[in-house]
Amino acid sequence: MTEKIRALSVISGGLDSILATRIVMDEGVDVTAVHFFSPFFGSGPGAGLDSVSQRMSERYGIRAISIDIADSYIKMLALPQYGYGKNFNPCVDCKILLFSTARMMMEEFGAGFIVTGEVIGQRPMSQRRDTLRIIERDSSTAGLLLRPLSAKLLKPTLPELNGWVKREKLFGFAGRSRKPQIELASRLGITGYPAPAGGCCLTDPIQSKRIRRLYQMKERLQAREAKLIQIGRPFFLGGDAILTVGRNEEENERINDLACNGDLFLKIVDLPGPLGVIIGSPTEEQVIRGMAIVAYYSKGRAMPKVSVGAGDRASPLQTVRDVIPADEQDIEEMKF
């Protein structure tokens, strides 16, 4: 009996990685899709119905697992060897990290190669021919990294040479057009896939600017701090103190879940209003400044004073102050 060939697929949850995985699965290869997540992209096991692993299984018949690489990613992002793209995106170093991690997982899963949905020329920084070779070299995946969507435009890989995957059943897609992938998805019966979009906040001009500034402020960045800065409205209070204010109940809940010992919660007393949390080591003046911002976004914005509570938990709060709500000029000046 011939032993079944196994592979790992690095899957983002987008159409290209779904197609690449299904193409190899249709060749009879036993594929485990690995979805890496960090504070800047992806979703972990606690993401409910939107979790990538659950969606891959239910919609596309793909067995997927989620792996948290927050610590190694945060460290890499501070000083990527190949620099940043247009914003704060270290796309080449990102791919090297993901594929290096997958390479280390191969033995555990009995995998003979790695699959990725990369398409030549689709991304200006990380999917040029020269950068594809750099990524393979630095991640120790040369010959092991199969790109089914562009394979016919690249040198044959180990799985092709060994006959594990038939080269004639692979593709030669190139460039930024999505039409070939959409047509292939239709032929494979793949529907309900996400619209093309940058899944990484480091490519977003506003979010990447905030995260870069956070790196400049923090000697040792924590994953939850990177997540908090992306929720709701962030404000710089001075020193190393940053306030995040929720815009709705869902964001209030996320802020509450991400905060931990040492953070300071701010909440309106006796009026509808948002939840805020301060990270860092705020002075008393900075705490009052944060309270004024939270008051600005409450139903008491037009009142002379608003009661705002502070504490190490959202409930109960330890202290309450009556503060004058911030004005629009204050808000604009303190936006992070």
Same structural domain for residues 75 and 157? yes
| For residue 51, pLDDT beyond 80 | no
The predicted pLDDT at position 150 comes to 96
319 is in which domain, residue-wise?
A: 231-334
pLDDT of residue 46: 54
Report if residue 46 sits inside a domain. Answer: yes
Same domain for 68 and 180, yes or no, is yes
Residues 157 and 39 in one domain: yes
Place of tokens 């120790």: 140
Is residue 42 located within the same domain as residue 162?
yes
pLDDT higher for 297 or 271?
Answer: 297
Q: What is the CATH number of the domain that holds 173?
A: 3.40.50.620
Q: What are the backbone dihedrals phi and psi of residue 194, each rounded to the nearest 5 degrees, phi first?
A: -65, 150
Q: Is the pLDDT of residue 328 over 50?
A: yes
pLDDT at 196: 67
The DSSP result for 101-163, as a single string, is HHHHHHHHHT-SEEEE---BTSSTTTSSHHHHHHHHHHTT-TTTEE-TTTGGGSPPPHHHHTT
> 218 in a domain, yes or no?
no
Name the residue among 50, 76, 61, 66 with its Cα closest to residue 11. Answer: 66
Note whether residue 244 is domain-resident: yes
**12 plus 124 within the same structural domain:** yes
Q: What contacts 252, CB < 8 A, 6 or more positions away?
A: 246, 274, 275
Distances from the Cα of 312 to the Cα of 245, 309, 318, angstroms:
16, 10, 8
Comparing 29-38, 112-121, 249-258, the range with the smallest average pLDDT is 249-258
Indicate if the pLDDT at residue 19 is higher than 90.
yes
- pLDDT digits 0-9 by tens, 279-312: 989 999 999 999 999 999 999 999 999 999 998 8
Nearest to 100 by CA among 78, 128, 67, 125: 67
The answer to the question of residue 212 being in a domain is no
Whether residue 318 sits in one domain with residue 247: yes
Domain end call among 135, 157, 188:
188
Whether 31 and 109 map to the same domain: the answer is yes
pLDDT for 34 beyond 60: yes
Question: Three-class SS string for 256-293?
Answer: HHHCCCCCEEEEECCCCCCEEEEECCCCHHHHHHHHHH
- Please identify which residue in the block is written with the tokens 């995106």: 89
**What does the radius of gyration of the chain's CA atoms come to, in whole angstroms?**
24
* Predicted confidence band of residue 88 (pLDDT cuts 50, 70, 90): very high
Average pLDDT (218-232) is 89
For residue 264, name the pLDDT band (cuts at 50, 70, 90).
very high
Distance CA 151, CA 124 (A): 19
The answer, yes or no, to whether residue 49 has pLDDT greater than 50, is no
Q: What pLDDT, on the 0 to 100 scale, is given for residue 74?
A: 96
Q: Is 163 in the same domain as 235? A: no
Q: Residues near 310 by Cβ (< 8 Å), separated by ≥ 6?
A: 264, 265, 266, 287, 291, 317, 318, 319, 320, 321
Strand 30-37 and strand 145-146: pairing? unpaired
In a domain, 199, yes or no: no
Residue 201 lies in a domain: no
**Least confident window among 140-144, 235-239, 252-256:** 252-256
Q: What pLDDT is stored for residue 244 in this prediction?
A: 95
Asked whether residue 200 is assigned to any structural domain, the reply reads: no
Mean pLDDT of 271-282: 91
pLDDT digits (tens, 9 = 90+) for 176-210: 888 999 999 999 999 888 776 557 899 999 999 99
pLDDT confidence of 122, banded at 50, 70, 90?
Answer: confident
pLDDT band of 45, cuts 50, 70, 90: low
Would you state the structure tokens that stand for residue 299, as one six-digit string?
Answer: 């139903």
pLDDT category of residue 151 using cuts at 50, 70 and 90: very high
Residue 123, pLDDT > 80, answer no
The residue from 135, 161, 188 where one domain ends is 188
Percent of the chain exceeding pLDDT 90 equals 71
Query: Same domain, yes or no, for 148 and 62?
Result: yes
Same domain, 322 and 181: no
Same domain, 184 and 274: no
pLDDT score of 47 more than 60: no
pLDDT the model gives residue 1: 46
Do 245 and 184 fall within a single domain? no
Write down the pLDDT at residue 44: 64
Number of structural domains in the chain:
2
Strands (E) located in 196-272: 233-238, 241-245, 264-268
Q: Is residue 291 part of a domain?
A: yes
- Out of 31-45, 101-115, 212-226, 267-281, give the one with best mean pLDDT: 101-115
